[in-house]
Structure 1
């Protein structure tokens, strides 16, 4: 019997959404199991993402829970179909060599319809030039082996190819002046990265806004934040970086709080045209 792969963050999310439906009705696991004609353990395992669930079962459970949002249910059905299909994302090629959190991040980016992010110390991952990405990973503690270093660089660069799709995600990046001036790799690499950032800002789907030092403090200044928009609002996800790897949040409270944070940061940022001029000024000062 083949070894069962551990559930991905996206698969766990499907189970979590089914759990939210149940909890909104105030049903216990036992009551839900009786409603669905199954047992309590099966419901628990599906909600935790340990067991897969068919598209048909998702529709039946959603109907049993009286979920009125057809678009939301359709989006959940698509996630269920993914798990049972033979297709695996390109990131699965790295499953034995990179941390699972990195794969979950690439999968989330692949399926998102848009992003809004605050970057305080690094350039956005999807907008990093290869040389800049290498310089960032060279600061890893403990140091990476040459093979691991190049593998991480290749993975990060490949993540950025989603911007080349026929229908790429719409992205807004709020980048602090500190990130623009942080010289990873030295002057030449930083200059190349700033030039690359300006080229990326020419894309119709990419908006870059700079938060200058003079704007003062900002909420959530201790870490960078990525807000990924799902096909429906209920499937939005917040991803933040931690020393232990990516952290994914999707409760209604978390989503609302992070939208408020991003709104406040964006209000203090320069407009896109002024931001491009600001980046050019920083590049000229190098």
Structure 2
């Protein structure tokens, strides 16, 4: 009998000094978006520290926490969470752990039924009538300024592209540019000292290549793909190149073919004269183009 009395007293003392966790939920059935509350209380803390999930992170995903307030004194821990659910269905608040010192306490799980209380055909009334607000020019600017600036930038880009396509490419392929570029190439050829070294074959190969490229750009003739005889015949039929320039091209190109096949061996004076004649031809080409443009206008 004494033994039973001792055990009974021990249980009473243990419960009297043990931490007690309790939890309640205000409503187990709520409407969509309705605010509900969940409360956790722990008694008999005896200055023990309580550890749990951070504020606004205690409840699962579907429970939108609106307010999470915590109060604690040396003996009691109190936590109240206000929440809402914005989906229909049944949702569960599982067991939630609260660590008191080294001891882990758990709440009981709760099931919350979320229903849509709106009925088909219900009239939805505004809380207040809509107001008409008169907008000023500055208000419209604030609303649409990014669209306006984007449209201006797009128009400017389109204009820049059109200008580049219309004038930019023409500038690079203009007669003056082609002339200056070719004269530089001819000067570079002279600096290679082919004439002084008597390397007539390399001299004429490069001289003819430069000349063909120039005729192709300047006169829009396929000089880069035609044989010499065909090119001379085309120049005479085309009438774009003056007779003086035709003569220079014909003499130099025919001599270049003879040199290429080792049928002639020009001397230094001849090579220097051919280089000078091609330079003069390049410089005079602008006059050919001016005459051609006048003829087209007439």
Q: TM-score, normalised by structure 2?
A: 0.19
* The structure with more radius of gyration: 2
Greater relative contact order (CA < 8 Å, ≥ 6 in sequence): 1
Q: TM-score, normalised by structure 1?
A: 0.20
Structure (1 or 2) with the greater helix fraction: 1
